[in-house]
Structure 1
Amino acid sequence: MNEPRENIETFYFQDDGVIPNNPNLPVLLYKGIWAKDPSRTESLLNSNNWGNSWINGVYDYHHFHSNAHEVLAVVSGFVQLILGGEKGQRVYLQTGDIVVLPAGTGHKRLEASSDFRIAGAYPGGTSYNTRTGAPGERPEVLREIHDVPIPDTDPVYGNEGPLLELWNKGK
């Protein structure tokens, strides 16, 4: 599916001492990419080899995945997230918006509409963990984040696209 490549934003987050983030790889925000047909969101992610997918919400506490990158695509409604930890960036997402979080990137739901639903998926269908920044997990998560490979595909554009271009520069 040929999607327009405008309206893509990037954010970099440094380790804040609790949430490690991923200072080498940017968060990618694709605005309104799939707004015309959000019902196909999960199947489109899967067709681009981002699997182990689900449709639900986002936790209301800071968390991250140290062993997998994650894509979140809004299927309905709106959500305000904070990315990167307590002093991170607030982002507003609505139907059709997609955010790609490199392994280690903190995220938390601040507010959402009652009809909010989001699809999540992972490159190659990776099984993911959920971490909160507990002090005892830090040495292990830093190793895990470092070892997560760059995906073979962009969740929106497939075999090419901003993720591959930007992330292959950063690793």
Structure 2
Amino acid sequence: MSVVSEKIEPVPIVFEDDGLVPNNPMPFLVYKGAVALDRGHPEATIEGLFGANGWGAMWRNGVYDFLHYHTSVHEVLGIARGHARVRFGGDRGRELEISAGDVAILPAGTGHQCLSASPDFSVVGAYPPGPPMDLQRPTLESHAKALKTIPLVAIPATDPVMGKDGPLVRLWRR
């Protein structure tokens, strides 16, 4: 039995550069209810899915409660337990409710910040092969540097949810 619904398509959202958070012209992707989780080991279910699709360097935690973004790497967030309200795209972005089984894929530069979360909120994050993750806060200086580094981040060969033929491969183009 597959842990992923075969017919699921992500919702693509493009966030504009707001002068402090660069975001990315490639769309942020959110899969709602994409992963059928093992009740006893939901984090392991997500780790297995991401790992099978070539996204490693995984971690388990939540989403930071301060606005930040990454300039050296794309990131995927798989919601293993609970639910949260997260603002994606910076202060002028969009607030989304994410919950267990959802997956969000953030192209480099996409701002994100947890606004509220259930006590059991648990996230598995991962990155495609490449440089290590960096963490940037929204300042004019970090924004200027980000505009130079983000275009150099390689497009992943696989979608962390659907693999080599997944929507990310079709939707992320330069």
| In structure 2, distance between residues paired with 1:45 and 1:161 | 13
Instruction: Write the letter of the residue equivalent to 2:33.
Output: G
| In structure 1, distance between residues paired with 2:57 and 2:160 | 13
Structure 1 residue runs of 5 or longer lacking an equivalent are none
1:11 is aligned, of 13, 17, 37, to: 13
Structure 2 residue runs of 5 or longer lacking an equivalent are none
Quick check: 2:19–2:140 contact (8 Å CA) kept in 1? no
* Residue of structure 1 in register with 2:66 after alignment: 61
What percent of counterpart residues are identical? 42
* Residue of structure 1 in register with 2:53 after alignment: 48
Quick check: 2:20–2:139 contact (8 Å CA) kept in 1? yes
TM-score by length of 1: 0.93
| In structure 2, distance between residues paired with 1:133 and 1:72 | 20
* Residue of structure 2 in register with 1:80 after alignment: 85
Between 131-140 and 65-74, report the one with greater CA deviation. 131-140
Task: Find out whether 1:161 has 2:166 as its counterpart.
Answer: yes
| In structure 1, distance between residues paired with 2:120 and 2:136 | 27
TM-score by length of 2: 0.91
RMSD: 1.4
Between 74-83 and 41-50, report the one with greater CA deviation. 41-50
Quick check: 1:32–1:95 contact (8 Å CA) kept in 2? yes
| In structure 1, distance between residues paired with 2:131 and 2:83 | 26
1:1-171 equivalent positions in 2, closer than 5 A:
1=2, 3-22=5-24, 24-37=25-38, 38-39=42-43, 40-124=45-129, 126-168=131-173, 171=174
Instruction: Write the letter of the residue equivalent to 1:49.
Output: G
| In structure 2, distance between residues paired with 1:41 and 1:140 | 33
In the superposition, relative to structure 1, how do residues 158 and 6 fare at CA in structure 2: closer, same or farther (>3 Å)?
Answer: closer
